[in-house]
Structure 1
Amino acid sequence: MDGHQFGPWNLLPDDILELLVGRNLCEIDRLHARRVCHSWRAAFARIEPPPPPPPLPLLLLPEADDDEHGLAFSCVLSGWDTHPFFLPRAARRRARCFGSCDGVWLFLAMEDGLQGDRARDHVLVNLHSFQFLDLPNVIRLDHTFPQLMKDIEIAIVAVTLSRQPTQQGCVAAGIIELPPFPIGVRPFAFWRMGDRVILPFYEDVFGDQAVEDVIYHNGYFLFLTQDEHIRVCQEPVFHDTNVDVDSILLRFEPRVDDGDAVLARYLVLCRGKVLMVVRLGCPHRRSPTSAFRVFERVDYLVVNAGVVEVLEHTWSEIDELGGRMLFLGRGCSRSYEEADGYPGMEGVYFLDDRSFRDPIFHDPDMVFDHTYHCCDNGRWSKSPFNVDRCFPERGRSKISPPVWILP
């Protein structure tokens, strides 16, 4: 068949163009399509293609040690393609990402290489407006003995907010690392947006369990422990020298063994419920993730002889995702619905956060590979059972682990 009988691209009928752009779910790709030629721009001005679904998180992949391509922002809606999306100049050099929040806000620890690994400035930056908000760099100890009061440097490794960071009354809950603590021990802390110093609290809320994740739900901060219990904390009350924290520990019944090694645990809010997602795999592989299990929090009353004795808690496994799209990131996990315009995209979307347990503070005289894993990123589906490492390959980074950019 003579190919010349088909008109050039600029003569495509409007209905064909509308079909093409309607199948493209990414607003950035639609914008690029309008720039193909003058005829396409004119055609798109006449037609009204169906609106795209709300944007999904972008995966920010940091610069790898042996890579000259720089930062990569990978888009799920574009079939894992990359988009131009830039960090402010001040945040591009030695900036460790440790989370994000809605509205393309990114949490960064900007390290000063001239002063060593321990010199860092924690900030929250908006990638649209380039607005910077200060975060704490130290915690104050000990307000009960003024003569011993001292500010200890911290490293923030995960954080969640009670509301948008520019709203009045925004409170942050973070998982932090302190140099004096043993390796692997990471307490949590609270502060108000704009605070440069974290004030101490002394209620018995730390316990002896490592904290896996934190979310904010219905006026409470929920901390997931390594034993899969939940520490529930009300929004704290801030005083001049300390913070009052009221909390309870919800103990969950032990689950059946997962079989494989547990790599991580996450809390996700989905359909008004609190979910726990367990990540399974072999920690010694280059890309260790092999599967996920998804559980829903279930609370029930134990009744004996018609008298309510106690409130029990358990994790009930979800057999099917049922159209859920779960994006996992400590402090910033989000859920979406396939029915809201994302056909065929049900699944669990994960990034390589296995460096979360590696110490940030360490003896500079020790031989320690202080790099971040960046290759175990992808999507897991329950039916068919499959792990698809669909995002671009990326080697280890000396700067930062991957992170979601939340729209």
Structure 2
Amino acid sequence: MKPVVPWNNLPTDLLEAVGKRLKTKTDVSRFRAICRSWRSSVLPFDQKQPRFPIRIMMKFPFPVNCFFLTITEDTVYHLVPPPNINSDDSASTSSTRGWVVRLREGESGEPSMLHPLSSSFHIKRLPKSVFPKLINLLEFRVFELAKTYTMYHSDHSVSSYRVAISLSPDWPAIMVVAAGKLYHCKLGPDIEMCTRVDITSEVFEDVICFEGKFYAVCHNGTAVVVDPSLEMTLIASPISPDHGSSVHCIKNLVQSLGEIILVERYPSRMKQRRLFPVKFRVYKLNAVERKWVEMEGLDGRILCVENLYSFSVPAGDFPGCQRSCIYFSDPYFPGLFIRKKI
């Protein structure tokens, strides 16, 4: 049997190989905090991108005017406390499994906490018995789950426009879905003017950045991919409508386990004094056959769906949550809701 090499004496080439696979600031910081040899093998995280919030300009043909929008970047984290925290507090059993939080760094560098599934709800105070006043990152395990982006108008109101951002050094760019149209601008330190990408009559609903390209979906399910040359290519045909519902559904694109997922949400509504609850249909992109394939289950995923953004987490990382569920917020009914499977 070969002798075991101490973790602080691993070969430099192995440490460098691991370091090249670290994609987030959180992972790089945790890796470099292990010991001196690990810290010297990987440089500090350097994203070389403009600091958020950033401002862009948009111009619509009707009415003919320009206006500014502010884009903020938030990071969704999973904070896992040490095993012994709150162990004697039965009221905080769920907190021992950790928390999902969304943090936004202000212009002064001070972070603020937001609800993970609300683009406008800021968390001012949490019960001390549930959430610790001070989080020691040397004790807590911190996992970065997602980046979310929100747009604000000049009066600080939340915009309904969808936005996706490419942080790739090869194509730093912003893509916006506004009034059903697709707009693009460069991501840089200056205020950029967004220009329309599509010249079609399609009505776009959502856009995400996936593997260095932008993917956008239309109201009928048609999906396109936009490359750095701004050329649009069809990647999915329209989806057959749900004949059991005459209500327009909301579409969200989600990057999940290396795949692109489409979530259709038919909103809750009142009809003849009856409440019709939210209904979901979920599809997986088959890029080879250029179509959406409806999923019967979520294959161990948990989908988190907000009107303006969505993200996915493996159910195995959250033992306190129901598996194969969709966690979502409803703009008409305040609170957090769960839809079992689909």
What CA distance in whole angstroms lies between the structure 2 residues aligned with 1:296 and 1:330? Answer: 19
Paired residue for 1:59?
117
After superposition, residues 216-255 of structure 1 pair within 5 angstroms as 216-236=209-229, 245-252=230-237, 254-255=239-240
What CA distance in whole angstroms lies between the structure 2 residues aligned with 1:232 and 1:28? Answer: 31
What CA distance in whole angstroms lies between the structure 1 residues aligned with 2:182 and 2:284? Answer: 26
- Residue 270 of structure 1 pairs with residue 328 of structure 2: no
- Name the SS of the counterpart of 2:334 in structure 1: coil
| Structure 1: stretches of 5+ with no match in the other structure | 1-13, 30-55, 64-70, 85-100, 113-119, 123-154, 178-184, 237-244, 301-311, 354-372, 386-407
What CA distance in whole angstroms lies between the structure 2 residues aligned with 1:107 and 1:258? Answer: 33
Q: 2:337 aligns with which of 368, 374, 378?
A: 378
Letter paired with 1:58: P
- Name the SS of the counterpart of 1:342 in structure 2: coil
**Residues 11-70 of structure 1: per-residue CA shift (max 9 Å, x gap):** xxx7993796775223599xxxxxxxxxxxxxxxxxxxxxxxxxx97234747xxxxxxx
Paired-residue identity, %: 17
Say whether the 8 Å CA contact 1:288–1:376 is kept in structure 2. Answer: no
Q: What is the TM-score of this pair, normalised by structure 2?
A: 0.53
- Name the SS of the counterpart of 1:175 in structure 2: strand
- Name the SS of the counterpart of 2:330 in structure 1: coil
Q: What is the TM-score of this pair, normalised by structure 1?
A: 0.46
- Residue 324 of structure 1 pairs with residue 312 of structure 2: no
| Structure 2: stretches of 5+ with no match in the other structure | 1-83, 102-113, 134-144
Find runs of 4+ consecutive structure 1 residues off by over 6 angstroms: 81-84, 285-288
- Residue 191 of structure 1 pairs with residue 186 of structure 2: yes
Paired residue for 2:9?
none
Say whether the 8 Å CA contact 2:217–2:224 is kept in structure 1. Answer: yes
- Residue 200 of structure 1 pairs with residue 204 of structure 2: no
Say whether the 8 Å CA contact 1:156–1:174 is kept in structure 2. Answer: no
- Residue 295 of structure 1 pairs with residue 273 of structure 2: no
- Name the SS of the counterpart of 1:339 in structure 2: helix
**Residues 69-120 of structure 1: per-residue CA shift (max 9 Å, x gap):** xx44799xx9xx9999xxxxxxxxxxxxxxxx946x65342534xxxxxxx6
Q: CA deviation at 1:227?
A: 1.5
After superposition, residues 17-56 of structure 1 pair within 5 angstroms as 17=87, 23=94, 24-26=96-98
Q: CA deviation at 1:156?
A: 7.0
- Residue 159 of structure 1 pairs with residue 159 of structure 2: no
Say whether the 8 Å CA contact 2:166–2:172 is kept in structure 1. Answer: yes
Q: CA deviation at 1:332?
A: 3.1
**Residues 101-149 of structure 1: per-residue CA shift (max 9 Å, x gap):** 946x65342534xxxxxxx699xxxxxxxxxxxxxxxxxxxxxxxxxxx
Q: CA deviation at 1:268?
A: 1.1
Q: 1:176 aligns with which of 178, 188, 195?
A: 178
Paired residue for 2:18?
none
Q: CA deviation at 1:175?
A: 1.6
Q: CA deviation at 1:230?
A: 0.8
- Residue 333 of structure 1 pairs with residue 326 of structure 2: no
**Residues 276-324 of structure 1: per-residue CA shift (max 9 Å, x gap):** 1111245557986522111111244xxxxxxxxxxx4222211122321
TM-aligned CA distance change 1:375 to 1:341, over 3 Å = closer
Say whether the 8 Å CA contact 2:236–2:292 is kept in structure 1. Answer: no
TM-aligned CA distance change 1:340 to 1:233, over 3 Å = same
- Name the SS of the counterpart of 1:111 in structure 2: coil
- Report 1 or 2 for greater relative contact order, CA contacts < 8 Å, sequence distance ≥ 6: 1
TM-aligned CA distance change 1:287 to 1:108, over 3 Å = farther
TM-aligned CA distance change 1:378 to 1:169, over 3 Å = same
What CA distance in whole angstroms lies between the structure 1 residues aligned with 2:220 and 2:241? Answer: 13
TM-aligned CA distance change 1:27 to 1:232, over 3 Å = closer
- Name the SS of the counterpart of 2:316 in structure 1: helix
Q: CA deviation at 1:199?
A: 4.7
Letter paired with 2:296: D
What CA distance in whole angstroms lies between the structure 1 residues aligned with 2:85 and 2:209? Answer: 46
Say whether the 8 Å CA contact 1:262–1:278 is kept in structure 2. Answer: no
- Name the SS of the counterpart of 2:290 in structure 1: strand
Paired residue for 1:52?
none
What CA distance in whole angstroms lies between the structure 2 residues aligned with 1:28 and 1:189? Answer: 31
Say whether the 8 Å CA contact 2:150–2:308 is kept in structure 1. Answer: no
What CA distance in whole angstroms lies between the structure 1 residues aligned with 2:85 and 2:212? Answer: 49
- Say how many residue pairs are matched: 229
Q: CA deviation at 1:170?
A: 2.9
What CA distance in whole angstroms lies between the structure 2 residues aligned with 1:233 and 1:216? Answer: 10
What CA distance in whole angstroms lies between the structure 2 residues aligned with 1:193 and 1:351? Answer: 33
C-alpha RMSD of matched pairs (Å): 4.3
